[in-house]
Chain A
Amino acid sequence: MKKTHKFKYLPDRAYRSLIKGLLREHKVYGTVEKDGFPAFAEIFEVDDLKLSETPTHLSAKEFLFPQREVLLKFNMRTSTHVPVIEAEKQVLIGLHPCDIKGMGLMDRVFSHGVSDPNYLARREQTIVVGTDCVPDEYCFCSSLGTDKVEDGFDIFLHRISRGFLVRTSTDRGAELLSRLADSREPTVRELKELEERGAQRERAFKAKINGAPEDLPAIYAKSDESPVWEKIGAICYGCGACNNVCPTCYCFDVKDEVRPNLVEGERVRTWDGCTLEDFAKVAGEHNFRKSRAERLRHRFNRKFRYLAGTFDSLFCVGCGRCSRTCLVKINIVDVTNELIRESHRR
């Protein structure tokens, strides 16, 4: 927010012409209203798009890492395969800072070590348009420093009372903005309004981690024996909803689907979840994480500890989706704060 020179002012009609231009050129996914809630869906005209300040239930990960994705096509008669990489140019509109940070982590996962061409091709073809948010009772990105973004998007739209202040972080974004919409330099008053909105947002956070994000890996490392795991394991349904809604859960299953002709088919990858019972089960029925407590401990550690060594980063972006969606109200902030409290007692 300090780099005020980066902002342009976009009146409402210019915003509409920007979206129209994107719709003309690409497939566009954005936030729409679905049963009274914001959700990502394909949009076909400007008015389909309802930029939402409240978070979507599902993250935007499905557009880069689809719930079901073809890796290979095969023929059983000839015993052959061909690789499939599906990547269509697409625009994603309405991502909040947490979504953009989450996407940045996914970028790192799928480019780390053996890179994943399916994800990376799709990422390369994706234009990201971010927008501001207002925290609800589950949001805690301000505790993790993921509440503001400087990169990871092409265009970012900040709503002000009349129109938008907009910034770009890629050449692609700058090109699109200058070609598709008439913007002008912002006035001091407009910049001031943005600042005030930012301060108001900061005050609106209710959920808060009572510790520094950089201390969390060490706190989790000392919490393997915490009673918290049994406590939440006892109420967890093992439904995997937390995995599904998480913007940084990327574990997957791979299986072959055969067409009705019983000759051709596809090797597909689908989302999988470490909280599901079969996740770590091997032939002979041995399950390496048999209890829900063990599986939850694994998931929480993946977010705050296990991947920190490899990626030098937490894998939670504070979006609160797992807590928001949990049927038995297991809350990631409460669990983490409980572990912090226990670490103080020791």
Chain B
Amino acid sequence: MSLYAKVTDDSLKEFAREMDSPYLPFLGMVERSMRLSEKERFFAVVPSSEALLAYRPGQFFMVGLPGYGEAPISITSAPGDTRIELCVRAVGNLTNALHKLRKGDRMWLRGPFGRGFATNEMEGRDIVFVAGGIGIVPMRSLVKAVLAERERFGRLTLIYGARTPEEMLFTEEMDNWRRRGLDVQLTVDKAEARWKGNTGVVTTLIPKVSIKEKETLGVIIGPPVMYRFVILSLKALGLGAEDIYMSLERRMKCGVGKCGHCQINSVYVCQCGPVFKLSELGGLPEAI
């Protein structure tokens, strides 16, 4: 290993010439702002640059408002859509300010960032999508992308868990998903008597999925506590570390591999993730 390689004056000059700041966001115009639940709001945004539409499912934008800062927000639309669709949970100053945006308002975006799902790698396989809470937001992007080319995939199952039926997002779209060949199974932690679906955490539904070993992939997106348990359940079904994809949440401030907040051991999630295969996390004990 050669320690302390040299940066020449010339190479610095070359970099300094690109004065285009990676911290300057692109403008987006809110076309649709819609309440989804008590905490979540849906936005369809017209981007000022076509470049912002070149994203993959699983990628994210740093979404911001002047005076309120920025936060990483998952993309919920799918490639090919002409609007960027985002779903924001109100948890802090920025996200509460975003909730006040209505049609015609300005929203600022940097990205898309990170490595998303490579749907071509998933071709020909059965897929079990496991979403918890607002994990359904980026999962919707992947589900839509897969359903857009339905014939290229095998059997598709979505297991989606939320705390209560009221907190479930995109349920009105799920009939359409079902018609297009996605088996949707819902579960909630607690519900009143009129709830007809399953009650219990997502892992209660996983053992009931009948899968073809070696042909099935699992995709997990949810709150940090969920991963360990879902991985165990998927492994119990016979899935290997190569067959399990997941999207990992981390704090992020820059999106360009500098600020350090998203780092898992040696990996910057904003660059190498947020999508990882379980097999890629072997050397990253802090990942899950």
Which A residues fall within an 8 A CB radius of B? 71-72, 74-76, 79-83, 85, 101, 104-105, 107-118, 120-121, 123-124, 144-146, 151-152, 170, 172, 213-214, 217, 224, 250-256, 258, 265, 267, 269, 272, 274, 279-284, 286, 288-289, 294, 298, 301-302, 305-314
Q: Is B126 an interface residue (CB 8 A)?
A: no
One digit per residue, 1 when the CB lies within 8 angstroms of any chain A CB and 0 when it does not, for chain B 119-146 equals 0000000000000000000000000000
Please measure, in the bound complex, the distance between the C-alpha atom of A183 and the C-alpha atom of B91, giving whole angstroms: 65
Query: From residue B128, how far is it (CB to closest CB) to chain A in Å?
Result: 24
One digit per residue, 1 when the CB lies within 8 angstroms of any chain A CB and 0 when it does not, for chain B 244-267 equals 000001110110111111011110
- Which of A75, A151, A280, A288 touches B6 (beta carbons < 8 Å)? A151
A-B contact pairs, 9 of them (CB 8 A): A71-B23, A108-B7, A123-B12, A253-B261, A255-B69, A269-B259, A294-B286, A298-B286, A312-B5
Which B residues fall within an 8 A CB radius of A? 1-7, 9, 11-13, 15-16, 18-25, 65-70, 89, 91-92, 105-106, 108, 223-225, 249-251, 253-254, 256-261, 263-266, 271, 285-286
Do the beta carbons of A81 and B1 come within 8 Å of each other?
no
Do the beta carbons of B6 and A104 come within 8 Å of each other?
yes
Do the beta carbons of A111 and B11 come within 8 Å of each other?
yes
Chain B residues, CB < 8 A from A104? 4, 6-7
Please measure, in the bound complex, the distance between the C-alpha atom of A291 and the C-alpha atom of B12, giving whole angstroms: 39
Minimum-distance CB pairs A-B, first 4: A251-B260, A74-B66, A83-B21, A114-B256
Chain B residues, CB < 8 A from A250? 258, 260
Chain A residues, CB < 8 A from B66? 74-76, 79-81, 256, 265, 267
Do the beta carbons of B258 and A116 come within 8 Å of each other?
yes
Do the beta carbons of A72 and B69 come within 8 Å of each other?
no
Please measure, in the bound complex, the distance between the C-alpha atom of A301 and the C-alpha atom of B12, giving whole angstroms: 27
Chain B residues, CB < 8 A from A258? 67
Query: From residue B230, how far is it (CB to closest CB) to chain A in Å?
Result: 16
Chain B residues, CB < 8 A from A213? 3
Known: A79-B66, A85-B21, A252-B260. A121 touches B286 (CB 8 A): no
Interface-central residue, B22, B223, B271, B285, by most chain A CB under 10 Å: B22
- Which of A111, A286, A314 touches B7 (beta carbons < 8 Å)? A111
Query: From residue B45, how far is it (CB to closest CB) to chain A in Å?
Result: 13
Known: A85-B21, A144-B3, A306-B263. A254 touches B67 (CB 8 A): no
Chain A residues, CB < 8 A from B264? 288
Chain A residues, CB < 8 A from B5? 108, 311-313
- Which of A75, A114, A281 touches B257 (beta carbons < 8 Å)? A114
Query: From residue B152, how far is it (CB to closest CB) to chain A in Å?
Result: 33
Residue of A nearest to B93 (CB): A256
Do the beta carbons of A111 and B15 come within 8 Å of each other?
yes
Please measure, in the bound complex, the distance between the C-alpha atom of A337 and the C-alpha atom of B68, giving whole angstroms: 45
Residue of A nearest to B72 (CB): A282
Query: From residue B265, how far is it (CB to closest CB) to chain A in Å?
Result: 6
Interface-central residue, B21, B89, B285, by most chain A CB under 10 Å: B21
Please measure, in the bound complex, the distance between the C-alpha atom of A66 and the C-alpha atom of B183, giving whole angstroms: 54
Do the beta carbons of A306 and B257 come within 8 Å of each other?
no
Chain A residues, CB < 8 A from B12? 107, 111, 120, 123-124
Residue of B nearest to A102 (CB): B4
Chain B residues, CB < 8 A from A302? 263
Chain B residues, CB < 8 A from A114? 22, 256-258
- Which of B25, B258, B285 touches A224 (beta carbons < 8 Å)? B285
Residue of A nearest to B68 (CB): A256
Do the beta carbons of A123 and B259 come within 8 Å of each other?
no
Residue of B nearest to A214 (CB): B1
Chain B residues, CB < 8 A from A79? 65-66, 105-106, 108
Query: From residue A109, how far is it (CB to closest CB) to chain B in Å?
Result: 7
Please measure, in the bound complex, the distance between the C-alpha atom of A293 and the C-alpha atom of B66, giving whole angstroms: 37
Do the beta carbons of A254 and B21 come within 8 Å of each other?
no
Query: From residue A175, how far is it (CB to closest CB) to chain B in Å?
Result: 13
Chain A residues, CB < 8 A from B67? 74, 76, 256, 258, 265
Query: From residue A290, how far is it (CB to closest CB) to chain B in Å?
Result: 11
Do the beta carbons of B261 and A279 come within 8 Å of each other?
yes
Do the beta carbons of B266 and A305 come within 8 Å of each other?
yes
Please measure, in the bound complex, the distance between the C-alpha atom of A267 and the C-alpha atom of B261, giving whole angstroms: 18
Chain A residues, CB < 8 A from B68? 256
Chain A residues, CB < 8 A from B224? 282, 284, 286, 288
Chain B residues, CB < 8 A from A172? 9
Do the beta carbons of A272 and B16 come within 8 Å of each other?
no
Chain B residues, CB < 8 A from A75? 66
Residue of B nearest to A284 (CB): B223
Do the beta carbons of A120 and B225 come within 8 Å of each other?
no
Interface-central residue, B108, B259, B285, by most chain A CB under 10 Å: B259
Chain B residues, CB < 8 A from A146? 3-4
Please measure, in the bound complex, the distance between the C-alpha atom of A272 and the C-alpha atom of B262, giving whole angstroms: 13
Please measure, in the bound complex, the distance between the C-alpha atom of A289 and the C-alpha atom of B68, giving whole angstroms: 26
Interface-central residue, B18, B67, B224, B285, by most chain A CB under 10 Å: B67
Query: From residue A268, how far is it (CB to closest CB) to chain B in Å?
Result: 10
Query: From residue B271, how far is it (CB to closest CB) to chain A in Å?
Result: 7
Known: A85-B19, A254-B259. A308 touches B1 (CB 8 A): yes
Please measure, in the bound complex, the distance between the C-alpha atom of A206 and the C-alpha atom of B109, giving whole angstroms: 52
Known: A72-B21, A118-B21. 17 other contacts (CB 8 A): A79-B65, A79-B106, A83-B19, A107-B7, A108-B5, A114-B22, A114-B257, A151-B6, A170-B9, A252-B253, A256-B67, A280-B250, A284-B91, A302-B263, A309-B266, A310-B266, A313-B5
Residue of B nearest to A262 (CB): B67
Please measure, in the bound complex, the distance between the C-alpha atom of A310 and the C-alpha atom of B257, giving whole angstroms: 11
